[in-house]
Structure 1
Amino acid sequence: MGEGAGKGAGRGADEWATSAVVCCPVCLREHAYTATVLPCACGAPLAPPLLADAPPVQLTRRSWSDEWVTVRCASCGRQDEWPRPELGCSCGTVLRLAVRPVADPAGPRPPAHIPLPRTAATPRPAFRPMPIRTAADVVSTAARYLEWLGFREIAQPQRRPASGIDLHGPGLIAAVEATTRPAAPRDIECLWLHGMNSAAVCVFFSLPGYAADARTRADALAVPLFALDLTGTPQPVNGPADELVSTGAAQT
């Protein structure tokens, strides 16, 4: 088998793709990443073209003006702003993946078919993400995801209470970090204490990710942690979150 044949399309496919193997520069774990497919205004599926050979960048601070990338639809030619692809590593690091610029003439013709993201075998239908553009979108995405997991009657206070509980339902409380500050151990501990007092499952969602010691504390307290990106796709980042995704709310 010749060089590059194992990937089916040679170097061009390696440089421009909708999926890639991403190595975390902090813990050196490897992740199979597939760009989230969202519909263009014309209805065609669209995903940002990844530069698979470019190393990911560790994201330590967010700037809303730098969260978007221009993507061209192969079906209608429309150019629109798209959330930059990001990956939350299980060590708590958030990585931003490189995307080929629209104006780059070296890019090959887009493939006729963009593969849909892989999903685990589950009786639930696939979660349908919606792009996050505001802090309110972060909270609503978390609420939709909890409903997808099987929780019911999810409610959000009109004003965030001092407890930091952004969402609640029967047997459930959730905190959502929508700022640029990664969640800290104290955030995890406060949520866990409220969950203990109310005999409720507690879940944490964070857009900027988690500090390493927050992840360690969550593992010790069995608090599910989910990382969010601007595509609106929550990703489990610890064992309790993986278990929650596997079992759903009915088994918690």
Structure 2
Amino acid sequence: MPESVPVRCPACRRERRFTVPVYPCACGAPVVPPLDPRGAPMAVTHPVWDEQWVSLRCGACGREGEWPQPELGCPCGTVVRVPVARGEPGPWDAVVAAARLLHRLGHHDVRRARRRPAHGIGLVAPGLVAHVDPGERPACLRDVECLWLTAMIRSARGVHFSRAGYTADARARADGLDIPLFSLDAAHAPRPVNDAARAFTAPDTAS
């Protein structure tokens, strides 16, 4: 039977019972998000796409997947986000980190692309296409050129994020096409790799 825990609404301060969701892994085993007893429930006032998902690992097969962030609808009208304990950063954390950076830079309607790139996960926003590769292989020339082609078809700016870095020819091609490249460190924090990325994150000083 699913676990039920008390959650206090931060708006009306009333305590409600929250049934912990159980997600189905592809292997057939149940995946239960570990709630963080030290975390404080938060009211969701402006839903943000990248904050609506949590990365969880199946205890049976070890497969990692992204699942909806546990939330509780309070009768007072408040949507309450229930905190989940986080472990080691997983692949989906890289996507979340990239989406958060783009959001901070003014791209507020960031969402997952319908069409997935050859490696990693695609993100789109008005006027923007981003590829996020959390894998162990450095992004290659083909990855950069595929991003450039996708962005050109959509009349958008292409941005690439890679956990394992870039090959020399990929960096050279990105420089020639003015494509911002970002690396992702162990905590999946994005770091600019080339001048295009540094310019992309620089404050707009134009009047």
Matched with 1:190 is 146
Q: Which runs of 5+ in 1 are unaligned?
A: 1-40, 42-129
Counterpart secondary structure, 1:166:
strand
Q: What do the CA deviations read for 1:57-99 (whole angstroms, capped 9, x no partner)?
A: xxxxxxxxxxxxxxxxxxxxxxxxxxxxxxxxxxxxxxxxxxx
Structure 1 length-normalised TM: 0.44
Name the structure 2 match of 1:23.
none
Candidates 53, 75, 90, aligned match of 1:134: 90
**In 1: Cα distance, 2:118 partner to 2:195 partner:** 28
Distance 1:186 1:131, change over 3 A: farther
The structure 1 residue matched to 2:109, chosen from 150, 153, 157, is 153
The 3 A distance-change label for structure 1 pair 211 and 220 is: same
**1:103 paired residue number:** none
The alignment partner of 2:131 has SS state of strand
- Give how far 1:158 is off: 6.9
Is the CA contact (8 Å cut-off) linking 2:121 and 2:133 kept in structure 1? no
CA contact (8 A) 1:132 1:138 kept: no
Query: Residue 167 of structure 1 aligns with which residue?
Result: 123
Q: Compute the displacement of 1:230 (Å).
A: 1.9
Identity of aligned residues (%): 45
Q: Using the TM superposition, give the Cα deviation of residue 173 of structure 1 relative to its aligned residue in structure 2, in angstroms.
A: 0.5
Q: Give the structure 1 partner of residue 171 of structure 2.
A: 215
Distance 1:143 1:221 in 2: 22
**Which residue identity is paired with 1:222?**
D
Distance 1:238 1:154, change over 3 A: same
Is the 1:132–1:230 Cα contact (8 Å) retained in structure 2?
A: no
Whether contact under 8 Å (2:95, 2:121) holds in the other structure is no
**Regions of 4+ moved over 2 Å:** 157-165
CA distance in 2, matches of 1:237, 1:152: 23
In structure 2, runs of 5+ residues without a counterpart are: 1-37, 39-85
Work out whether residues 117 and 131 of structure 2, in 8 Å CA contact, stay in contact via their aligned partners in 1: no
The answer to which structure has the higher strand fraction is 2
SS across alignment from 2:129: strand
Whose RCO is larger (CA < 8 A, sep 6+)?
A: 1
What TM-score comes out, normalization by structure 2 length? 0.53
Alignment match of 1:204 (pick from 160, 166, 173): 160
Q: Equivalent residue for 2:133? A: 177
Superposed displacement of residue 221, structure 1: 0.5
Distance 2:107 2:113 in 1: 17
The root-mean-square deviation of aligned C-alpha atoms, in Å, is: 2.8
